[in-house]
Chains A and B, each alone.
Chain A
């Protein structure tokens, strides 16, 4: 592959991909040039695959064949972001957005819309894109997308991740060409990354350029570049979506990193729980090798580099950098003390750069468009954008990328579409089992590394779980501690024993057996763990408790001293009662109660015998009159 050949491919596929960026007339003109009257992009990410996008694609292809339509291109892409509306389908050049597509719906769309002279099937569109007067807005104008700035996700949902040509058409591998052929010196590359202000997106926030600088400065013939795709925070799926939607950008970035530090081999450590991501990455690696972006003498520059995939095996601690490398080496994934840092002594004892997927996803853009462009986004100390996996009690569950400094309010209320069922926002949890929560009173906090740390939470890798008034904060803290107890590797005592002891306290408290002094003991133990645990897993394990104690201390006090769980989640501290005024005496609850704890005669208000009740909630879910509530 030479630069000329690269540019030839780019020109050949440019229009095909550009159709998806420009809508209306210009798009139509372009579409004609490409030979495809229309393009249908269907999400093939994990979220949409789970909601049936494979069947939708099959039905689409079948219906197109049945109707003898040959000038419509079907593209299976990565994640568009709006996972709760899946399977998702976008038709270009109109740019219209069909949500929750079904095989039946698709057949109709083919007949009524995709056929020559057809028109959009409005009922099947994502209704937020259809105005009352019947006009349709494009996806980029919806609240969900309007405030987003997609850099790391720029190609997710926009290209076929299994076709390297489409990546090349969006300026793919131009950054690598710039680095190798200009040529930029390794120091130039590192300076560019340093000046961009990019910080580690895995959660730590360490300046990426400095990591690279240290690894380059360490002498050694053999060095390694690693990519951390062991996304273990439950509820976070940013890295997975990038690997599924745009795997080539990671390969390009790792190769650039290899050149910068003088490494000739790279490893991607990815969760085995991500089969689609692994498969696409494999295909991408094969294609990159075939095109000569990996292997010997890349682009004729004399630089050689190749990448291997290593599968994780379900250990959260392997997301910690030293544990990850121990795991690649074929051992139990236990962390080791730092220093020495990986940049000095990393994988197989050699100097190693390790960044996470999202960090790499920014690199080609930074090299291509320059550090100044990247540094113009974000805040003083947190540059660029951050991807969040928005989940929990929020209307638009999915993947969002926002400029640093965007407030939590904008994310929850505008992009996320607010809390469903008219409930009140209580807190957002970031940083997963290592992080903390941002309560409602801090909803105007700008999202950047320092602001989040200042209020006792952390950026984390990008999981953002929204909690509403029905969530008990003690219970949530317990949930995270159960997780860290499971995942503590057992190597160091503060973490192995400490997490267990913390969980015991929380179990006691949620069972209504909390005692005077428990909170103080928790706080003391938490401090010891923070100071003496070997790795970040143990050091940060108390965070979910400390941050809920900070902002929701009253809930702990209520549990311990007042025997009350405000959110009615902790079973030992709540009971089901019949609201006599509402009860019609239909006997349905009594008949369904598994322990016969409900008494009463027909047409008379019933009563729950609290001594028999096992608090299963069957009565409440069966009652048609809303006459049973929790107190």
Chain B
């Protein structure tokens, strides 16, 4: 689905990105810091944004693309309004986080790495958010939910679904 989503960058976003590029242009190894900022501005790194970064820093698009696809934190596809991230780090895994992920996938009807068709939720797995004392954990946006069980995951998601006025 990612390929079908048209790029909807605003003038304001572009302005911001150009400022970031100007600030970092002479920094040795500027590409990574600039991509971090670009993703912060646009939420993801579509080819249009990569092209702007390439032009701004005077490097080839293939180099930008190579770096953007190398690191898991950079995403070439848009994420949901609410980003769900289920920890599959070791401490969470031995406490059954694979079952948590399965439950979240079942509940939202999408797989890890995908976004719901209404653009509200996306699911990813991550390796360790560092809250191992609460394992298994997941993050929804900036909020960490710990000591999860397949039984209590549904209620947490329901809260967000209700907030969005939806019925999944």
Contact = CB atoms under 8 A, between A and B. Distances in A.
Interface string A322-338: 00000111111100000
B115 interface: no
Contact of A333 (B70, B93, B133, B151): B70
B73 A313 contact: yes
Interface stretch (B7-15, B28-36, B159-167): B28-36
Contact of B90 (A47, A51, A314, A479): A479
A50 B128 contact: no
Given A46-B130, A330-B29, A398-B133, A234 B71 contact: no
Contacts of A50: 129, 131, 134, 137, 144, 146
Given A429-B90, A471-B94, A311 B32 contact: yes
Nearest to B24: A330
Contacts of A272: 36, 73
Interface string A79-109: 0001111100000000000000000000000
B72 A315 contact: yes
Contacts of B93: 234, 479
A37 interface: no
Contacts of A327: 32
Nearest to B67: A332
Nearest to B87: A234
A402 interface: no
B82 interface: no
Interface stretch (A125-133, A197-205, A385-393): A385-393
Interface residues of A, number: 52
Interface residues of B, number: 38
Nearest to B128: A234
A397 B67 contact: no
Given A234-B127, A389-B132, A329 B28 contact: yes
B108 to A, nearest CB: 17
Interface in B27-49: 28-33, 35-36
A84 B133 contact: yes
B135 interface: yes
B91 interface: yes
Contact of B31 (A273, A330, A467, A489): A330
A550 to B, nearest CB: 19
A310 B33 contact: yes
A86 B133 contact: yes
A389 B94 CA distance: 15
Contacts of B72: 313-315
A329 B132 contact: no
Given A310-B32, A315-B70, A392-B95, A235 B89 contact: yes
A425 interface: no
Contacts of A463: 90
Nearest to B150: A621
A303 to B, nearest CB: 22
17 contacts: A47-B130, A47-B131, A50-B137, A84-B134, A234-B88, A234-B127, A236-B128, A237-B132, A273-B73, A312-B71, A330-B67, A331-B31, A389-B132, A391-B135, A393-B94, A463-B90, A476-B94
Interface of B: 28-33, 35-36, 66-67, 70-74, 88-95, 126-135, 137, 144, 146, 150-151
